[in-house]
Each structure stands twice: as structure tokens, then as C-alpha cells.
């Protein structure tokens, strides 16, 4: 893979860099994309029917079991070379923000520090009435646990269809896009808003936009550099070329 010399030079001199990652990055670790998780036991359901507040209210045990299965799978895989390359990039850039649509926690596992989790984290649960967030709980087979404070059901700490993104995380992501000199879009379809608007926002303020993806996306015509392939192969090469 040939990396343009001007990109190498610009990255070396950039103090503010932001990156947005999507399901393609985790897929390289062996995690299926959200819509591909509905196989086997879940094949009779549309994923959207398992990821809404209404579904949880209607069939909380079913939704809980679906996410318990996803949580178990996420715990069985490891970060890949793309995750580690982004963590390495952060060590060289004075102001680096990693924005992710993924909920598996693999970026933090790989060593990334400044992580903005737009869609939450599957390793946490929260009270459905808003009492708090929990990282430890007792698994009850076939039953969703209840909040120790109010008795309401506990649910995954992820953003479901029809819900707003966490305001603080979204504000941090927007600020990063507005102030960065380089914006990376990695392994994301460019279809899910508002995350899909972030690289365009960065482009509007004059940032260099770099896309790394297995295939072209709606964003591709707008970027400055497009690298087609696996992030686990491309990002390590890029980091090595820029910072040695």
C-alpha cells in the first residue's frame, strides 16, 4: 500500500486528530455486525425488534437474552491490529479523539484513552428509570435483573433505535470534528446519523478527511484520501509510515 508523502507530512505536523470507527473494525476481530447477529436462535426476529425501548417493555427477557449473548461473544474476542494502531496513533498526537459507534469496548481494551462511545457500551447496564449505571450484576437465567434502588428492570447501557445519543458524548464528538486537522473514518458505512455527519463537518472546517473501508461508501466522494481494505492491515502501515 502506498501512502501519499503529503499525507505523511501533514499527519506528523498535526496536533488535533479525530477518528470515527464503525462495525467494520470490530468485524475484523470476529464480531458480526449488528444486523448479522440475528442468526440461529435470533433468526426469527428483526434486529430492530430487539433493540427498542418498546421491545424491552414488551418482552424484557427476550431482549435481555439477546444482549447477554452479544456480551458473551464480545468478551470472547480480542482487539485487532486496527484497534492497536489507533491506540498507537493517540500516543503520537497531542490532541486525539477516538469516536466509536461500537459498543464492545475493544478500543479501551487495546489501550485507547480518549474514547467517545456514541452508542454506549454493552459491558455496562443501567436502570430503565435512570437511577444509575452498573458494571457488575447477577445474571439470572431467563430473567432481566432489577435495579437495587427502585426495582425497575435493568437494561443494556446502549442506544436503541428511537433513542437520542448521549448528549455529552455527542457534544464531545462534534467539538472534535470542528477542531481537528485530520479526520479518519474507519470501518463505518456512513449511513447512521448523526455520526455520519461528523466527517462532513470536519471537511467543512477545512480538515483533511481520510477514509479506510472495505468498500466505498456515501462518504467516499467527499474524502481527501480513500484506502480500500481492512483497517487491521492499512492503519498499522500508515502509523508506521508516519511515526516509525
Alpha helical stretches, state H, 36-101: 53-58, 60-76, 81-92
β-pair type (133-134, 120-127): antiparallel
Q: Which residues of 119-142 are buried (b: 16+ CB within 10 A; e: fewer)?
A: bbbbbbbbbbeeeeeeeeeeeeee
Catalytic residue among 16, 92, 107, 119: 119
Crossing angle of helices 231-243 and 81-92, rounded to 10°: 30
CA angle 33, 90, 218 (to 5 degrees): 40
Residue positions counted in the chain = 244
β-pair type (154-158, 120-127): antiparallel
Q: Which three cell numbers stand for residue 121?
A: 457500551
Give the other-Cβ count within 10 Å of 194's Cβ.
13
Q: Look up 119 and say whether it is catalytic.
A: yes
> For residues 241 and 74, what is the distance between their CA atoms, to the nearest angstrom?
31
- Long-range Cβ contacts of 137-146 (<8 Å, 24+ apart): 139/68, 142/61, 142/65, 143/61, 143/64, 144/60, 144/61, 144/63, 144/64
Q: Which residues are catalytic?
A: 119
Amino acid at each position: 500500500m502506498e501512502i501519499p508523502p503529503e499525507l505523511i507530512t501533514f499527519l506528523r505536523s498535526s496536533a488535533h486528530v479525530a477518528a470515527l470507527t464503525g462495525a467494520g473494525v470490530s468485524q475484523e476481530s470476529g464480531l458480526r455486525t449488528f444486523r448479522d447477529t440475528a442468526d440461529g436462535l435470533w433468526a426469527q426476529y428483526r434486529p430492530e425488534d430487539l433493540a427498542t425501548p418498546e421491545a424491552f417493555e414488551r418482552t424484557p427477557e427476550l431482549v435481555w437474552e439477546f444482549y447477554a449473548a452479544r456480551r458473551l461473544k464480545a468478551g470472547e474476542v480480542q482487539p485487532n491490529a486496527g484497534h492497536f494502531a489507533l491506540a498507537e496513533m493517540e500516543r503520537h498526537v497531542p490532541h486525539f479523539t477516538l469516536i466509536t459507534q461500537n459498543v464492545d469496548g475493544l478500543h479501551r481494551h487495546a489501550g485507547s484513552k480518549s474514547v467517545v462511545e456514541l452508542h454506549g457500551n454493552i459491558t455496562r447496564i443501567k436502570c430503565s428509570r435512570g437511577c444509575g449505571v452498573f458494571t457488575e450484576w447477577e445474571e439470572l437465567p431467563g430473567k432481566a435483573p432489577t435495579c437495587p434502588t427502585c426495582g425497575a428492570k435493568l437494561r443494556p447501557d446502549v442506544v436503541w433505535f428511537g433513542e437520542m445519543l448521549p448528549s455529552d458524548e455527542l457534544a464531545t464528538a462534534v467539538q472534535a470534528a470542528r477542531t481537528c486537522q485530520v479526520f479518519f473514518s474507519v470501518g463505518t458505512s456512513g449511513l447512521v446519523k448523526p455520526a455520519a455527519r461528523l466527517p462532513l463537518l470536519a471537511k467543512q472546517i477545512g480538515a483533511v478527511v481520510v477514509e479506510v473501508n472495505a468498500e466505498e461508501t456515501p462518504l467516499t466522494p467527499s474524502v481527501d484520501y480513500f484506502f480500500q481494505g481492512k483497517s487491521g492491515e492499512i492503519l498499522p502501515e500508515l502509523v508506521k509510515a508516519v511515526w516509525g
